[in-house]
Amino acid sequence: MSKACTLAIDAMGGDHGPDVTIPAALNALRKHSDLQLILVGDTASLERGLAAAGASAEQRLRVHAASEVVSMDDPPAQALRYKKDSSMRVAVDLVKSGRADACVSAGNTGALMATARYVLKTLPGIDRPAICTTIPCVGGRFRMLDLGANVDCDAEHLFQFAVMGSVLVQASGDSAQPRVGLLNLGEETINGNDQVKQAAQLLQDSDLHYVGYVEGDRMFRNVADLVVCDGFVGNVALKSSEGVAAMISRILREEFHRNPLTRLAGLIALPVLKALRRRLDHRQYNGASLLGLRGVVVKSHGSADAFAFEQAIETGRLEALEDIPARIDSRLGEVFAQESRQ
């Protein structure tokens, strides 16, 4: 992957804006000589932030003016209609015009999805875009979608999610033939609602490597490379797992600080605890992909720090270099051709 790529960064989005996006952008540029970034937002604020970091706009780092900001509580419809010069909208517009290969934003998820769908449109054959992210598991990681873009999905939507997610897994190098599982309340074929059962049949009849139903606890045991579900179930599952991880971390801190003996035990166990923290650090998996659009859009967590936002930039770079939308489009063509022959 030696070709250059340009990313448009919504520099004002998220909880921290330029305080996070600028250092993340500078770190990404240091790592990748093939990367060019466009910081979109208030010019004065961005130039002050760059100066404070000892940097300035140059050939690989440009500042693009945008006079408005989409707040985290702006309704998506209002952001789309009334904030046409927001840093989010302008960043997506740069992808649409071809001046950027991808957009990365930590802003309002609903507004980003609505804006990206309106500006970029969906790929042929895709009814609804989906949000896909990476989650750690025993022995590696897996991807999961949808995570909140589509609360109600029919079987065809779930099947489309599986096709799109499989392309992303392949492009990332995780698996040449991704194992696809449907998140369900049991592994037996009698379990699940009609939509899930019908989606299972579609997957069985396809050339995807379908491994069957996956229960919530088993998806962390490395039984699938891609777990598919509707946005309501996916968002609840993701937030629940994040909550459990945070609870375990807090309990460990409390127990190791209980008395001098437990503090000593904590000191002895420190190398193991640091390794555990590194493996489970959610920041290294930051950057959810909005799949199904005619362009690359990556959503960072709104509260991301500079390290986490840098990972979202890495995701955008990978998807831009691999041209994920074109690969999904090509794969969908193969799937539709297969269906027409059946």
* Domains and their CATH numbers in the chain: 1-125+292-323 (3.40.718.10), 127-285 (3.40.718.10)
Task: Tell me the mean pLDDT in the region 117-136.
Answer: 93
Name the residue with higher pLDDT: 75 or 334: 75
Q: How confident is the model at residue 340 (pLDDT cuts 50, 70, 90)?
A: low
260-290 pLDDT tens trace: 999 999 899 889 888 888 887 888 899 999 9
The predicted pLDDT at position 110 comes to 92
Q: How would you classify the pairing of strands 179-183 and 209-214?
A: parallel
Report CA-CA distances (Å) from 245 to 93, 113, 233. 37, 27, 18
Question: Could you read off the pLDDT of 180-219 as tens digits, one per residue?
Answer: 999 998 888 778 789 999 999 999 999 899 999 999 989 9
- Provide the pLDDT for residue 174: 85
* Dihedral sign computed on CA atoms, order 199, 201, 207, 208: positive
What confidence tens digit (pLDDT) does each residue in 47-82 have? 999 999 888 777 799 999 999 999 999 999 999 999
Confidence of residue 342 (pLDDT cuts 50, 70, 90): low
Predicted confidence at residue 339, as pLDDT, reads: 65
pLDDT value for 1 = 45
What confidence score (pLDDT) does residue 2 get?
56
Q: What is the mean pLDDT of residues 88-115?
A: 96
Q: What is the mean pLDDT of the chain?
A: 91
CA 14, CA 69: separation in Å to the nearest integer? Answer: 10
Q: What type of residue is 2?
A: S
3-state secondary structure of 72: coil
Joined together, the tokens standing for residue 317 give 């770079």
Question: What are the start-end ranges of the E strands in 171-306?
Answer: 179-183, 209-214, 226-228, 288-291, 296-299
pLDDT at 294 over 90: yes
Residue that the structure tokens 């998820």 belong to:
109
pTM: 0.90
> CA geometry: angle at 75 spanning 320 and 13, to 5°?
45
